[in-house]
A and B are shown apart, each in its own frame.
Chain A
Amino acid sequence: MIIDINFIGLIIASIMASAVPLILASCGELITERSGVLNLGVEGMMIIGAISGFALMTVTGSLIIAIFGAMLAGVLISTIFAFLTQTLITNHVATGLALTIFGIGISAMIGKNFVGIPGKEFPVLFEGLKDTIPLLGPILFGHSIVFYFAFALPFITSYFLKKTKIGLIVRAVGDSPESASNQGINVRLVRYACILYGGAMSGLAGAYLSMIYTPQWIENMTGGRGWIALALVVFSTWNPIKILIGAMIFGGLTIIQFHMQAIGVRIPVQFLTALPYIVTIIVLVVISRDSRKIRLSTPSSLGKSFHKDN
C-alpha cells in the first residue's frame, strides 16, 4: 500500500482544525482560572458564541461582524457570571452550571430560525502554497485566520503570564488575593477582566464551530467540547503550551473515529464517539494522581470567593 505523503499532511491538518475550538476555549479559561476563578460555564458561553456568530453572519452578511459579535456575545454572557461570582459572591460551581444550562436554552431559542440555513464559505489564507511543500504544505497553508490565531494563542498566553506585568498581576490575584489586595491591586477588577476575556475566547471557539468547522447551526452543536476544554486546563496543569498538546490528542481522537469508520474497522460507532470522553477521564486520573504536583500548579485561590470588607 502506498501512502500518499500529502494525505498524511491532510489528516494532520484536519486534527489541527478540530483542535482549534479546544485551544481557544481552554486558553481563555486558563486565564480565568489563573486569576482564581473557576468558570464551569464554558459549554454555555461556547454555544452562545456559535449561534451568535452564525446568526450575525446570516443576518448581516459580514464575517467580521459575525466573528467579533460572537466574541462580544461571549463577553456579555460571561458578565452575568462575573457579576454573580464577583459582586454578589456566589458559588463558582453552581453559577457556572447555571450559565451552561441558560446558554444552551437561549441558544436553542435564538437558533430556531437558523436551523437548516446553509453557512457561508470562510476565506482561507495561503491557499496557493498548499502544494509547494510535500507533507508540510497542507499542514501550514490554506487555513482560516482563526486557525492561525488559535495556534499562536498558547504561546501568546504563556508570554503574557510569564513576561508581562499584567500577567504577573493575574497570577498574583489567583495565587494570593489577600496579599495582592494589600499591594493595592483591585482583585475584583482583575477577576472581572479575566472572566470576560474567557468569555470572549469561548465565544470565538463557538463561532469557529458554526462558521468555519461545520458551517451551519445545529442545536447543541458544541457537544461537550466546552467540558473537554475545562478538562484540558487541568491536563495542562495551567501551562498554556501543554494545552496545545492536549488539544491535539483530543482532536486526533475525534478525527480517528471518522477514518476508522471509513476503513471499515468493526468497532461500534458509539464506542468511537465515546473515546474522547473516556480518554479525558483516564488522562485526568493520570494527571491528578500526583496530588502534590497538582497542588503546586493549581492557582491557590481557584474557585474560592474573595471579598474585601469595606
Chain B
Amino acid sequence: MIKIVKRDQPSRAIFFFTPVLAIFLTLVAGGLIFFILGFKPFEALKFFFIVPIADKYGFSELLLKATPLCLIAIGLSFCFKSNNWNIGAEGQLTFGAIVSGGVALLFYEQEGFYILPTVILAGAIGGMLYASIPAILKTYFNTNEILVSLMLVYVSKLILDYLVVGPWSNPEGFNFPETRQFSDSAKLPLLFEGLRIHAGIFLALAAVVISWFVFYKTYLGFQMKVSGFSLKTAKYAGYKGKKMIILVFLISGACAGLAGVGEITGPIGQLHREISPDYGFTAIIVAFLGRLHPVGIIFASLVVAITYLGAETAQIFMQIPKYTGQVFQGMILFFLLASDYLLFFKIKFIGLKK
C-alpha cells in the first residue's frame, strides 16, 4: 500500500534532486513520444541529446545557445524570487536588440574601441526601458504584470519587423528584411577560430557571479527572499515594495537586453526578423529548472540548450519535427513542478497486510 505523509518541513536534499528526476522523466516520456511517432526511442534520444554535442563544434554551439538562456534566466530569477511574474523577457530581449542594433548602425563602417561597450550598454538600457513598463504599471496602476509583459512581446516583435522592413532596412539589400551588417568594432569577438562561441559568454558568467553575491551576501537579496516568501511579512518589516518591484524588473530587463545584444552582435551580426528562437520564454523554464540558484541556472541552461540543438540534429538526421524541442521544454517544466510534490510530501510504501 502507498501512504502519503506531509513532511514537517520541505526537504533540502530533494530540492536539488527533483530537477534531475524531472530531466530523467522527460527523457522517458520523450522516448515514448518518439516510439509513438514510429522512431526507435534510444536512437532518437541519442540523436537528440548526444550526437549534437559530441564534437568541438557541437560543444561550442551548446555554449552559444546556453549563453542567452543563462543570462535571461539569471535576470528572471530576481523577479521570480520576489514574486514578480515577468514573462515578457522575449520582448525585453527584442527591444534591447533593437536599441543596441540602432546604435551599432550609427557606427556603420566606423572602427574604435569605444563602439562595442556603447552598443552593449545601449542593449542593457533598451531591455531596462522595456521592462520598466510592466513594472511601473504594476506598482502605480495595480496592473497585472503577466499580461502586460506578455502583450509587449508581440509589440516588440512588430516594432522590429517594422524597422527591418522599413527605415532600417539595408539600402543595398534587395529589399530583404534585414539591416546592414554591423562594423567589426560593433561585434563581440569570437573566442576560437572556426567556432561561433563569442565573448558574450563572459557577460553570462559575470551575471552568475553578481547574482550569487546579491542573493546571498546583500540585504537586498534577503529582502527579495522575504517578499517572495510572504508579501505581508515584507510589508510588516517595512521594505519598500514598490522600489524593489521596479528594481528586479530593471535587472531582469537588463539581462534580457544583454542577451539580445549577444545574439545580434555575436552570431547574427545585423538585425533581422528572427533574432531569437524564443529564448525569452525558454529561459523561464531554465530559471525554474535551476531552482532560481545561479549555479543551478548554469546547469539548467546547458540542459535546455541541448533541446534546441537536439531538435535541429534530429530534424536533419531522422526527419523528426523540430518542434519536439518545445515539447521537451514543456515536459521538463511539467515534470519539475510535479516532482516538487516530493518536497512537501513523503510517499511511504507499506507492505500489504494479509
Please list the residues of chain A having a beta carbon within 8 angstroms of any beta carbon in chain B: 40, 80, 84, 88-91, 93-95, 97-99, 101-106, 108-109, 112, 224, 227, 230-231, 234, 268, 270-271, 273-274, 277-278, 280-281, 284-285, 288-289, 291, 294, 309
Contacts and interface: CB of A to CB of B under 8 A. Distances in A.
Residue of B166, B331, B334 contacting most chain A CB atoms (<10 Å): B334
Nearest to A40: B146
A109 B324 contact: yes
B143 A285 contact: yes
Nearest to B137: A285
A43 to B, nearest CB: 9
Interface in B143-158: 143-144, 146-148, 150-152, 154-155, 158
Nearest to B332: A98
Nearest to A81: B334
A276 B107 CA distance: 35
Contacts, number: 127
A80 B334 contact: yes
B281 interface: yes
B176 interface: no
Interface string B333-347: 110011011001000
Contacts of B323: 104-106, 108-109, 112
Interface of B: 6, 85, 87, 137, 141-144, 146-148, 150-152, 154-155, 158-159, 161-162, 165-166, 281-282, 284-285, 288, 321, 323-331, 333-334, 337-338, 340-341, 344
Contacts of A108: 321, 323, 326
Given A90-B337, A98-B337, A101-B285, A271 B162 contact: yes
A105 B150 contact: no
Contact of A93 (B85, B152, B159, B327): B85
Nearest to B282: A101
A112 B321 contact: yes
A285 B326 contact: no
A288 B337 contact: no
B56 to A, nearest CB: 30
Nearest to B167: A268
Contacts of A102: 326-327, 329-331, 333-334
Contacts of B341: 88-90
B137 A281 contact: yes
B327 A109 contact: yes
A227 to B, nearest CB: 5
Contacts of A270: 158-159, 161-162, 165
B141 A95 contact: no
Contacts of B6: 309
A98 B22 CA distance: 13
Contacts of A89: 341, 344
A291 B334 CA distance: 33
7 contacts: A97-B281, A102-B334, A108-B323, A270-B165, A281-B152, A284-B143, A288-B142
A291 B141 CA distance: 8
Given A101-B330, A268-B162, A278-B155, A94 B337 contact: yes
Given A278-B155, A289-B141, 10 more contacts: A94-B288, A98-B333, A101-B326, A102-B331, A104-B326, A231-B147, A270-B161, A270-B162, A284-B137, A289-B142
Residue in A94, A102, A106, A280 with the greatest tally of chain B CB atoms within 10 Å: A94
Contact of B151 (A80, A88, A97, A281): A281
Given A84-B338, A109-B327, A274-B154, A101 B333 contact: yes
A99 B326 contact: no
Nearest to B325: A105
A191 B88 CA distance: 28
Contacts of A97: 87, 281, 284, 333
A106 B327 contact: yes
A227 B146 CA distance: 10
Contacts of B331: 102
B119 to A, nearest CB: 24
A99 B330 contact: yes
A295 B243 CA distance: 22
A108 B155 CA distance: 23
B337 A268 contact: no
Contacts of A80: 334
A101 B162 contact: no
Nearest to B160: A270
Contacts of B150: 227
Contacts of B321: 108-109, 112
A84 B337 contact: yes
Contact of A105 (B143, B147, B326): B326
A291 B140 CA distance: 10
Contacts of A106: 323, 327, 330
B337 A103 contact: no
A105 B162 contact: no
Nearest to A83: B338
Contacts of B137: 281, 284-285
Contact of A277 (B155, B166, B329, B333): B155
A280 B344 CA distance: 38
Contacts of B158: 270-271, 273-274
A227 B282 CA distance: 18
Contacts of B281: 97, 101
Given A89-B341, A106-B327, A98 B143 contact: no
Interface centre among A84, A98, A108, A230 (most CB of B within 10 A): A98
B164 to A, nearest CB: 10
A192 B250 CA distance: 38
